[in-house]
Structure 1
Amino acid sequence: MNKTDRLLAIVLELQGRRVVRAEDLASLFETSVRTIYRDIQALSEAGVPIIGAPGMGYSLMEGYFLPPVSFTVEEAVTLLIGTDFIEQRFDDDYCARAKSARRKIEAILSESVRNETSRIRQALRLLAPGKPVTRSKERKYFEKIRLAILEERKIRFHYSKGITDSMGDHHSERTVAPYGLVLVEGSWMLVAYCDLRQAIRHFHVSRMTGLAELEERFERPADFNLSEYQPSDDRHLRVHLRFDYDVADKVKKSNNHFIEDMEEHQEGLDVILRVRQPADLVQWVLSWGANVSVVEPESLRNRIYEEAEKMLKRC
């Protein structure tokens, strides 16, 4: 990074934070503290109102704001693709804001950058996963859940797990305190405290029906941080599957989140997965037909055999 770029980056860093130490700036821009001192002096001489607090760091005088800056073609493309993504995956409110942001970004671009940015974007396309009906419901529920999170209100919904869990539930009504939304493999997942289970649980938004916002409020724990949250892993059952070479490439592209390891050999593709219970994989294994065999555990092999017998009887 040259000096001009670093000076601009320092101002942007000060603009986004209240107080920044010279040591932190040096670490961020991979330079010496002495260089940062010289940069701060140069900015002050150029008229940038930087306040230095001994022992604390530097800050900008209140009310100072850097005028709009120019974007490179790559930066403009990155921002515009970001607005495309938000328009596809967020609710109508954020969709409108994304369109507004895109217009503002395009308005401040020079003609040459705007033309080059347009040319590059025409060669890129985002395809939203899932069926249109599913995406439409996710967008509608996303907005309700987002508002409930911000207003700290509980929500209630009917939930389908897709499989019967260890407690015998397939469909159930849940009342939860929503903590946050996470985009996982193209689908929105709600992280929430479930009143029924008395613990934090995860819910696929696409599996919810009858979502309703309640008047009951909640207070999110002070020590809960969504960006640092790591769910406990209770997937203790190891599964070993062997696939024919004919479907090996498709298996590798399936992105099944239970997969831990893969290895090709003369007999085919061996896949190691870790799940909570055999039922977690039954439908997925059956979808590969005769191109897969269960090496272990025997409990899953028996479950597949039982399901295949039921299918045969219905034919």
Structure 2
Amino acid sequence: MNKSDRMLAIMLELQRSGRRRAEDLAAAFETSVRTIYRDMQALSEAGVPVIGAPGQGYSLMEGYFLPPVSFTVEEAVALLIGTDFIEHNFDTGYGNGAKASRAKIEAILPETVRLEASRVRAALRLIKGREAEDSREKAHIETLRRAILEERKVSFRYSKKIPEADGSRQSDRTAAPYGLIFLYGAWVLIAHCDLRREIRHFRLSRMSGLKMLDDRFTFPSGFDLQRYRPADDRNQLVRIRVDAGIADKVKESNYFFIEKMEELADGLLVTLRVRQPEEVLQWVLGWGADVAVLEPEPLRNRVREEAEKMLKRY
């Protein structure tokens, strides 16, 4: 990074962070503390109101803002695609904000950059989900976003893919919402469930009757959604043999439960890690006779039973 780029980056960092020590800036920009001192002197001489406090670091005078910065084509495309993603996948409030942001970004771009960015964006496309499901999830996101910010519990009816021990697939839940995650194209709520008395994950597409309650909650001390990693309780292995004719399709499926894939002379050996073998039953059946379950035996029997039921229907 040359001196001019580094000085601009330092101003942006001070504007974003408020105050930074010379040592921190030196580490961030991979240079010496002495070089940072010289950069600060040069910024002051250029008229930038830099304030230095011994032992505390540097900051910009309150009320000082940088003029609009210029963007390269790659930077402009990254920002514009980001607004496209938010518009398609977030709730109405943020969707409208994304539209307004896109208009402002395009307004300040030089014509050459705007035209080139438009050409690049024309070659990329984000596909939305089904309209009804998309609309329902966006409404859920708006409610949950408010509940998280206001630290209020929510209630909803949840439909599970795998039935409970009593055979039921639906249950009423009350939970403290901690955050939202966009995972493999689907929104997931991370929340402390009052019924299970632990943190659980809920797919928004399986929720109905979502309401924000008056009951308050407090985030657990030290909880950080960005660092949160759920315990992996997928302790059972499923192994299937895949015929060569669909091996490439299975590889491209990017299925969540796949642990590893091994090439065979006549196909593919796929190992999946699951909580319950039934979780992958529908996925296995979807490949028809081109896959065979090797283990566990109970899953082999379930596939056989389903195949016999299908045969009776035809």
Q: What is the TM-score normalised by the length of structure 1?
A: 0.96
Whichever residue aligns with residue 283 of structure 1, its letter is Q
Q: CA deviation at 1:167?
A: 6.7
**Residue number in structure 1 paired with 2:56:** 56
**Residue number in structure 2 paired with 1:255:** 254
8 Å CA contact 1:159, 1:208 repeated in 2: yes
Whichever residue aligns with residue 186 of structure 1, its letter is G
Query: Deviation per CA, 1:116-170, whole angstroms, max 9, x where unpaired?
Result: 2222222221123x32221121111111111111111111111111121457541
- Distance of 2:33 and 2:295 partners within structure 1: 59
Unaligned runs of 5+ in 2: none
- Asked whether 1:308 is paired with 2:286, we answer no
Q: CA deviation at 1:276?
A: 0.4
- Distance of 1:156 and 1:119 partners within structure 2: 46
**Residue number in structure 2 paired with 1:42:** 42
| Aligned counterparts, 1:21-36, within 5 A | 21-36=21-36
Query: Deviation per CA, 1:18-61, whole angstroms, max 9, x where unpaired?
Result: 22122221222222222212111111111112122222321222
CA root-mean-square deviation: 1.4
Q: CA deviation at 1:6?
A: 0.9
The secondary structure found in structure 2 opposite 1:285 is: helix
Using the TM superposition, name which of 267-276 and 116-125 deviates more. 116-125
Q: CA deviation at 1:94?
A: 0.7
| Aligned counterparts, 1:264-275, within 5 A | 264-275=263-274
8 Å CA contact 1:177, 1:194 repeated in 2: yes
The secondary structure found in structure 1 opposite 2:202 is: strand
Q: CA deviation at 1:267?
A: 2.7
- Distance of 1:59 and 1:295 partners within structure 2: 64
**Residue number in structure 2 paired with 1:141:** 140
**Residue number in structure 2 paired with 1:241:** 240
- Distance of 1:111 and 1:310 partners within structure 2: 63
- Cα pair distance change 1:120/1:307, threshold 3 Å: same
8 Å CA contact 1:278, 1:303 repeated in 2: no
**Residue number in structure 2 paired with 1:5:** 5
**Residue number in structure 1 paired with 2:75:** 75
The secondary structure found in structure 1 opposite 2:311 is: helix
Whichever residue aligns with residue 267 of structure 1, its letter is D
- Distance of 1:267 and 1:245 partners within structure 2: 6
Q: Tell me the percent identity.
A: 64
- Distance of 1:119 and 1:103 partners within structure 2: 17
- Distance of 1:262 and 1:166 partners within structure 2: 32
Q: What is the TM-score normalised by the length of structure 2?
A: 0.96
Q: Number of matched residues?
A: 314
| Aligned counterparts, 1:1-315, within 5 A | 1-128=1-128, 130-165=129-164, 168-315=167-314
The secondary structure found in structure 1 opposite 2:35 is: helix
Q: CA deviation at 1:71?
A: 1.3
Query: Deviation per CA, 1:209-242, whole angstroms, max 9, x where unpaired?
Result: 1111111111111311100101011100011111
- Distance of 2:170 and 2:305 partners within structure 1: 23
Using the TM superposition, name which of 227-236 and 259-268 deviates more. 259-268
The secondary structure found in structure 2 opposite 1:113 is: helix
The secondary structure found in structure 2 opposite 1:142 is: helix
Query: Deviation per CA, 1:57-87, whole angstroms, max 9, x where unpaired?
Result: 2122222111211111211111111111100
The secondary structure found in structure 1 opposite 2:226 is: coil
- Distance of 1:279 and 1:99 partners within structure 2: 43
Whichever residue aligns with residue 29 of structure 2, its letter is F
Using the TM superposition, name which of 297-306 and 166-175 deviates more. 166-175
